[in-house]
Structure 1
Amino acid sequence: MALALDFFIILLFYFLTILSNAQKLNQIKLGSSLTAGDDSSAWTSSSGDFVFGFRHLDNQNLFLLAIWYDKIPDKTIVWYANGASPAPKGSKIELTSDGKFSLSAPNGQSIWKAENVADGVSYASLLDTGNFVLAGENYDKYMWESFRYPSDTILPTQVLDVGGVLSSRMTKNNYSKGQFQLRLRPDDHLVLNTISSRMEFVYDPPYYKSGTSDTNNSMNSGFRVVFNETGYIKVIKRNGVTVNLTLGNIASTKDFYHKATLDFDGIFTQYAHPKNPNNGVWDKAWFSVWYEPKDICTSLIGDLGDGACGFNSICAVDVEGRPTCECIPGFSRVDSSNQYSGCNQEKVQKCNQGSRPEELFEMQAMNNAFWPFSANYESFPLQNEEVCNSSCFNDCNCVVAVVKEGTCWKKKLPLSHGRLDRNTYGKALVKIPKVDGSAGNKISQHPNRTKKDQSAVILVVSILLGGSLLFNFIFVATVSLVVFFAYRRSQRVNKVSSLLEMNLRVFTFQELQEATEGFHEEVGKGSFGTVYKGIISTSTSKAIVAVKKLERLSQDGEKEFKTEAGAIAKTHHKNLVRLLGFCDEGSNRLLVYEFMSNGTLASFLFGISRPDWNKRLQMAYGIARGLMYLHEECSTQIIHCDIKPQNILLDDTFTTKISDFGLAKLLGSDQTRTSTVIRGTKGYVAPEWFRNSPVTAKVDVYSYGVMLLEILCCRRNIEMERDNEEEVILVDYVYDCYKERVLEKLVVNDEEVLNDLKRFERLVMVGIWCIQEDHSLRPNMKT
């Protein structure tokens, strides 16, 4: 009896264990299915972190079979099956009674199926790790799992064995295979390659290697990549040694989700995202904790492929390591919605027989632009840039000539692997077909025709001079009017020509009044004027812009306005707000800028929730790079004179952009925040302003130092103590804390910074260095 009772208890415990595991695993029974378009049709992990189901693709009646994070706002996809063949509404994913797992269209046509599924499938389940499994009767045995067939992402606990591959998407919203691939080569490195998207042929050499290969001893080479549960990515060698790819301290996997994605721009990035909102508000989206390569523009090498930005383009890396792409002059994007699509000529270059080159083409210089792997069909040493310019200009085959290291390199189309390299002196000379270029429409015409025209004019004048006095008077008046209007027209043409060189659009005051609905929506107000939100329409699109009405220009305002607007227009940097155009009409002086959707750095830093530590650092680096460009890389040095968080704007990706640079020269000496001739804002003004000392770029360094301390501490430079209503000066408080070795008092409630105190201390020292009273002791921005 006792034995039977014991057996019953053991049996009961066994069934309870099975039931508990089944509930924990959220078992999906054989015969289950999901239907595309049924919003309630999905399978969820037991924790609720992940969902397996159909995701509706934007602007299409098509669906992606996918796994995504479900508890965060953007529902980030981490695995997908049918990227190249989106499923129409009504398609069905089914786990059949015999354990097969497949996706079919409403008409029964097969779209996708799980390959290499072992026999004996008993159920399916979406695990709390994000791994979707087809399992056997034993819970530890999987017949198939999504972790073994990743798309572009791996997750903590996931393993990538030799031969394992991640493929990038085509674009952010196109889930077809793109041109980048990550793979672990046998007894070798973890590598990143570009591939031929049509043939899936891998181009060598790789643009990133993990450094885990030993050609002399295979036991010292990598054979497995592990993304462990603590959030670190490691390569395991056959001898048991691990190489940690993720360096430094990262956000805890207890409080943050992690993923590593081969992004569509070719960068392998590990991201983190907070698991819970802060007081009901999500602080931020995914942020980068590690990525490779650090500079994809220069890492992509070799003769094959088109580079990070496509053919006939220029690649530059922003503060977050992302490639930004621009077409060379005379070219436009193949796909206007995809900056990585490459560029085509707007007008095909043709050499017409009997025409002179100056009638058909013009040359435009691009500083520091290079295509080191595009085939050169001719090169020669030179002492003079003009020789290279002339050689390309008069050569029908030449599209671009590159002046570099004392050599002229002539190139044909297509141009691949274009990059902006500010560390190498040189420039590209681009030959551009004139928009209206044809020999018959130019002022410079055939010499014989010119002589005939001159003879005809002489004949007409001779006849007229022989006529009546009244007739001659009318003739002279007519000729005078023609000459006058011709002069006015040439003046307009010259003005338009100079504006085209600046790549600026000239707006009328009425256009901007209509664009802003009568200057209705004010989005900012500063020492230089008021900023309004507007919408500018073109024949093909609409763009949101920021329109700044300048106030109280200096006495020589009109001349200075045009000069400075031209200077600002010639600046091009990721961390500077781009000037799109201006209005110079009567007493109205307005500037039109790109619109920054995320407001100012001040609102980001001093809002309700504390911004992420890594994002703050990236912003600080971005501002420094922008200032370095203004101080050292512009043809004419630009000193900002009013660096502060209110003048740093954030775009839709929270990239920092300096605004109002160059505008100080447009203003009279009384147009400041103070009652003196000092330029700048209280709390950010360098001491030399008060001593009538010569102003140098070091005034911006001082202001940057103050702002850097604000970024590090998330505190305003000048705050009021609530108890005694006295001003607290942040720079003084920081210095006192640094001197007393109690820097943690500055960031009491900031766990991220407290876990990274060494870097915090180092950056505080940089901030203090920048605010030295003696300007000669401050570093320059490049340092």
Structure 2
Amino acid sequence: METRDGVWLMPCALFLILSFVSQPSMAADSISVNETISGDKTIVSSGEVFRLGFFRPGKATSSKHYIGIWYNKVSDQTVVWVANRDAPISDPSASALKFSNGNLVLLNESRIPVWSTNISSTPLGSLRATIQDDGNFVLKNGPNSSKPLWQSFDFPTDTWLPGSKLGRNDTTKQTQSLTAWKNPEDPGSGLFSLELDPNGTSAYFIMWNRTRQYWSSGPWVDNMFSLVPEMRLNYLYNFSFVTANNESYFTYSMYNASVISRFVMDVSGQAKQFTWLESSKQWNLFWGQPRQQCEVYALCGAFGSCTENSSPICSCVTGFEPKSSLEWDLKEYSGGCRRKTKLACENPVPSGGADRFLLEPYMKLPDPSQSMAVANDRDCESLCLRNCSCIAYSYKDRRCEIWSGDLLDMRKQSPSDPGTRSLYLRLAASEFSSRKRNTGMIIGIVVGSAAVLATVLAVLFLLLRRRRIVGKGKTVEGSLVAFEYRDLQNATKNFSHKLGGGGFGSVFKGSLADSTIVAVKKLESVSQGEKQFRTEVSTIGTIQHVNLIRLRGFCSEGSKKLLVYDYMPNGSLDAHLFHDKVLDWKTRYQIAVGTARGLAYLHEKCRECIVHCDIKPENILLDAQFCPKVADFGLAKLFGREFSRVLTTMRGTRGYLAPEWISGVAITAKADVFSYGMMLFEFVSGRRNSEQSEDGTIKFFPSLVANTMSEEGDIRSLLDSKLQGNADVEELKKLCNVACWCIQDEEVQRPSMSNIVQILEGVLEVNKPPMPRSLLAFNDSHEHLVFFTESSSSSSSNQNSKTSSTTSSSQAKSSTSTTSSSNAA
């Protein structure tokens, strides 16, 4: 080294080398014949979208390493492809991904190949493997080669990325399917897979162990899978199913390339579509099937039972314990459960007595091994007991079903669920002995607590006595109270303060003896008997949701049928939309979201789907904070056949009834979706959907919205003038789009209420809706549409009601009756 003025001078070459080393360097996007990937070395796609290298799944303490591909810019490391998923290595620094004999090979720490591309030998000098911005890892013979020798897209693991294929090639016999990881910390091949129907149809199946199908997409029809109608409700994805050149496959792309999305065969056994939300730094679930976790076949393994909405979702049946507590902690339940105690017939020297059977009630049972006719349940029990391989039986209607081997796909259910049965499970006698000891301990505890229990009972007696005095009712189920008619008559001051009325009956304000304000609904012409009425009301009373009105109790004395609800101080929505009161846009939007949540709960979360059948602003009540409460749900079943009379006597301007009410086809939850959509138009305009101008012409607001949306006109022109333009434009556009989708003529084209909730909450995106044919007919003919039924009189059984029946411009025209100025509640 030389110095000048006391400063050391570094040779120029060494300075340049150190300067280069000190600068952060961008990893290359490929490796060639003479290069390897070892240790923490990685390669990154040219646009820095994906990274390839060694990784450890799950906890950082894991000793297993894999070669994989993950998102480079997503903060939560998300692996989309794994090379050696079933052959992990323990030391990445001593292992290498390199070229060998014309293939890309992964050598473990012992220099043994654990993974290879397995292609025909190619001259080594020109081979190159590149990670692309679409996540595809491609092996080519030279930079100018157009067709890859091998690509990771042909061998997906659990993730399907935009641009890749899922299908089969009948010529090469190559298939692409997705197979879930074993658990979040083990990318090994799990039991659940998604694949194209091997029988040759265009449907996709989710399979358990490649042998049992438990979900299907349905065939590809009209640019969608028949059992996945949600495919119509997005503008994020461009889907296509291709059949050409002896190849059939499904693929998709993103309309917006900046959106990060992936489709995964999840460890839960569900197929899921995710999008990345950078704002919250998390993956957002866009779509998933099957919707119920317990619909996944054999999720809990042998002798495991699945219970929806429980934590954990899987449990072992009585007498069994998890085979691997570690796996169950990782939510990998497929290993199932094992017996705690061997059966007597399995022991060479049995002790403790003969095996016995334990009742497991309310189960959805797996397919039986054998079924036969018997005289009674004791014969069924004896039949199973004589055969050591029989581990359970079930008896019903002189049929004995027995099971041998593992019990798979058991589910805990409620007594009212369809297919619920009782299972008698074979256990060692000692299991019952231990239960007796536990029973003795419980008895001792109960005896020791007798004094405390007596005190509690005395207090409860006093409270119940006070409640009897206050509410004049008897609790029949949960918090539901059976009131006497005279008590409700007194509470409402002989039904003097009427809040509203409609087809179902009139509503009166009342005050119980403890000053609780209630709304009492007097039902008219209920067709059901006493027992059936109480059963239906009890069912309604168990339904609890923040956006559903709470039923406090009922009265049933002969023909006198009344329902008692919580009182809503802000009344019904129609009073705020159509009269002097003004709802700001934020409140309107939150009411729209809350109403959708309530309806989604009725349609999908109840034991049985509840179709409301009468969605309109009058049936949306508002509490003190303007939180919406859907009212009158479940009442359609109370009226039975008379419900058609309720519908036809509803008065109003343009109504909310779906076309299927007139056509006579079966009514489903999509009828509520139609009514909800018609109501959304009124959220936007602040007035009834149909108005008659001074010159006698009909102004139909849904038609105006649809035209404005299709022609991309000024959407603010649709807004309620009372708001003076104060509204979120994106929310306004979203509400109009959803409304137009809801009123599609074909119910299969309408979204589900759960989809609507996701759209309004910003989870799902929705594309531009088509113009419903009925709106096109209205534009052409200016005739009334089949969106409502109405009557000029309801006082006589021989009333002359006229129903609008124009559904298209080619159909016969009929006149409609004169409408009243407001809808009845």
Normalized against structure 1, the TM-score is what? Answer: 0.50
Normalized against structure 2, the TM-score is what? Answer: 0.48
The structure, 1 or 2, with the larger RCO (C-alpha pairs under 8 Å, 6+ apart) is: 2
